[in-house]
Structure 1
């Protein structure tokens, strides 16, 4: 069922988190993070931080519904986009670390879903959305440090690396978000300018590319696999304990 408001998005994310935790599924990790982002957007709308706050709520809801629909399709045994299918297939996989589970969800949602949602909301006036679209990047980047602290509690090795790296890793996260955002904006423009009959093909091609990025996240090169395996040895193993840490508890 599609959400009709930002409060309904939060309610549906709560249900997904509860369902995933009951199933001991690592798919709980991404919606926990996404719920925090959604609440931050809601608070920004209430403070009137955006140029068009009513439109920003519409964007948030349309954007969220792409994830909610993909999750519902997966649970019903239907086929979501390849980008999300790769993420969902890892629900009970042992070796991927918590950070990989978060990154593969972010990959699908920002790199594929965000551009589509922006183009659909803006219709023929996409340029007027650009300022608010880019404010989302600042919001995501501002949350990076808090998320890293929580990841550090889950994965002590990452916590040590975070201390050693100082602010470098936070700048890298900010840089990665910026790249994803810029790519999403470029795709939004391409999608917006295409004829309606061409859009399914554009989505299919984009999905194929983003799915490949997802595969790289879950199965990186040999060196990064060794690093991830080392992190995994010391990382919390229980899904509900990782979930509590991500929630800040």
Structure 2
């Protein structure tokens, strides 16, 4: 894996993952494409002095991104990773999962686990409450792009949003990615981690990881009716994996 020192390094490595996924026709490229969009938006925010502390935000972004990038490359090399990322990557070669499911399991691991870890790490030795405003701002960016993706997918499948309202568990999962949850759930975890004694941090992360992995099951195994509906959507999906990755990067 290439060294990561700047936000541009992050964008470049995400492009490597996108290219690799495109060449391999791998659905792992869906999340990488979305995440590159997020990172570019954060970079623009830093350049425009959007955050209270732009230098700290670049550092946070790098720590945050490294968790996904390292998980990706470790998974390729059969090196153990968090169970939530293991769950997300494990569906890559299975035909019946739709684009939205691939994106959601990736966001589940990264937002609900990694973001809190990154926030606690960037605040080491300082009061984490000083980060709260910028934490909310980065979640504004995340949630706006999540909404964009839902809208893009709804154009491809006009009935998708209606279907999601019929499948309550999955719909609740989508709601979980709203700004409110990102501000509350992920932030509460960041604060908990920041106040955890060093010798108990790994255990705290492990407990959270198990909880987040269980949440992914709502998307991967949503029950018979929503699963059947998703299968119908999957069969009607237009375009190759490569084309879908390209659509997500546009």
TM-score of the two chains, using structure 2 as the length reference: 0.89
Aligned equivalent of 2:98: 97
Flag structure 1 segments of 5+ consecutive residues without an equivalent: 163-168
Distance between the aligned counterparts of 2:47 and 2:178, measured in 1?
Answer: 28
Conserved 8 A contact 1:108-1:211: yes
Aligned equivalent of 2:73: 72
Distance between the aligned counterparts of 1:238 and 1:156, measured in 2?
Answer: 19
Distance between the aligned counterparts of 1:101 and 1:147, measured in 2?
Answer: 12
Conserved 8 A contact 1:144-1:174: no
CA distance 1:210–1:145, shift in 2 (3 Å): closer
Aligned equivalent of 2:20: 19
Distance between the aligned counterparts of 1:104 and 1:76, measured in 2?
Answer: 21
Conserved 8 A contact 2:117-2:193: yes
Note the C-alpha offset of 1:175: 6.2
Note the C-alpha offset of 1:140: 2.1
CA distance 1:93–1:156, shift in 2 (3 Å): farther
Report runs of 4+ in structure 1 exceeding 6 Å deviation. Answer: 159-162
One of 205, 214, 217 as aligned partner of 1:215: 217
Aligned equivalent of 1:136: 138
Residues 75-106 of structure 1: CA deviation (Å, up to 9, x unaligned): 11111100000111111111111000000000
Number of aligned positions between the proteins: 240
Q: How does 1:1-249 map to 2 (within 5 A)?
A: 1=1, 2-123=3-124, 124-158=126-160, 176-236=178-238, 238-248=240-250
Note the C-alpha offset of 1:143: 2.6
CA distance 1:160–1:206, shift in 2 (3 Å): closer
Conserved 8 A contact 2:31-2:106: yes
Which has the larger displacement, 231-240 or 47-56? 231-240
Which has the larger displacement, 16-25 or 234-243? 234-243
RMSD of the alignment, in Å? 2.0
CA distance 1:190–1:210, shift in 2 (3 Å): same
Note the C-alpha offset of 1:186: 0.5
Distance between the aligned counterparts of 2:8 and 2:219, measured in 1?
Answer: 31
Distance between the aligned counterparts of 2:183 and 2:97, measured in 1?
Answer: 25
Note the C-alpha offset of 1:151: 1.7
1:206 alignment partner, SS class: helix
CA distance 1:161–1:214, shift in 2 (3 Å): closer
CA distance 1:175–1:65, shift in 2 (3 Å): closer
Distance between the aligned counterparts of 2:11 and 2:224, measured in 1?
Answer: 38
1:197 alignment partner, SS class: helix
Note the C-alpha offset of 1:173: 5.0
Distance between the aligned counterparts of 1:205 and 1:130, measured in 2?
Answer: 23
Conserved 8 A contact 1:141-1:177: yes
